[in-house]
Amino acid sequence: MKMVVTGGAGFIGSHLVNGLVNQGYEVHVIDNLTTGDPGRLHSEAILHVADVNSQQTTAYISVLKPEVVFHLAAQAEVQRSIQEPRLDADANVMGTINILDACRKAGVRKIVFASTAGVYGDLERSQLTEDDPVNPVTFYALSKAAGEQYIRLYYHFFGLQYTILRYGNVYGPGQTAKGEGGVVAVFGERLYQGAPLPIYGDGLQTRDFIYVKDVVDATLASILHGDQSVLHVSTGTDHSVNTLVDLIRRLHPDRIDVDYLPAKIGDIRHSCLNNEKTRERLRWSPLFSLEEGMEETYRHWLGTPVSQSDFSK
């Protein structure tokens, strides 16, 4: 059975590709390699270098006729979206429409869409549910919310099945500080450089940090479950950035300094996603605590191989 992963040479995408190959699927990757690295890809994955908003991508999907398309390709830098909203919309809105139209014409059964917790904006909730209002405060989050609505309408008009996954703050081995990189990846880069860890604001802002292996498991479960659902891929637990620093200090033997900087425009103060609906509909639950996931990630920073057994937990 054929599967297509857009953005499959990226951080989350490459982990997903590994998971699909390990389950016996024929996996095709569509990636323009702007931030993706072909060196991350499983040797059995087939790479097609193309932009998602191109006729070349349409042609690939038309010829391949995959069972499912996992649409992860995106312009994922929040600050860049604020500086270049047109570029952001071209990649994330027009690119999604192009993928949807290609899926419709090729008879693809289902699209699985990687969205974000950022679509809620800065709602004052201790824990967000999928029924909470969407109120993006950045162009990146707005583009993801728009993509979600296009997907719903493609199902309404054309019957293209979908699962929309709103990811929490994903981290893990292989993540870089650019592109898809979050605060964990930035801290890893600074640790490698021997530089202070930058914290924008007071460090009391919280995130729902979720390990990439748990994200892959939820995304794989969407092949057979969660049709026409919007679901949170999260731990349901929030941790502050200061807590994250304390955890890294426990793992790292050398002194770690912190540099507190002004908060970034568009940054959300608190984010924690309820995952009860996801547990039920995908028959999934996260397995890694933040401590366990960070230990694996830290080993990767040190260059210690993360064995296959580490990913069969």
Catalytic residues: 140
How far apart, in whole angstroms, are the C-alpha atoms of residue 21 and residue 230?
25
Half-sphere exposure of 274 (CA within 13 A, CB side): 13
Q: At what angle do helices 241-251 and 290-301 cross, to 10 degrees?
A: 60
Q: Where are the alpha helices (DSSP H) in the chain?
A: 11-22, 55-64, 78-83, 85-89, 95-106, 139-158, 183-193, 212-221, 241-251, 276-282, 290-301
How far apart, in whole angstroms, are the C-alpha atoms of residue 21 and residue 156?
31
Contact by Cβ (8 Å): 205, 180: no
How far apart, in whole angstroms, are the C-alpha atoms of residue 133 and residue 136?
10
Contact by Cβ (8 Å): 111, 73: no
Structure tokens of 124? 């004052």
| Phi and psi, residue 79, nearest 5° | -65, -35
Structure tokens of 311? 């990913």
Q: At what angle do helices 183-193 and 241-251 cross, to 10 degrees?
A: 40
Return the DSSP state at 186.
H
Contact by Cβ (8 Å): 99, 244: no
Give residues with Cβ within 8 angstroms of 131, minimum separation 6. Answer: none
How far apart, in whole angstroms, are the C-alpha atoms of residue 114 and residue 70?
8
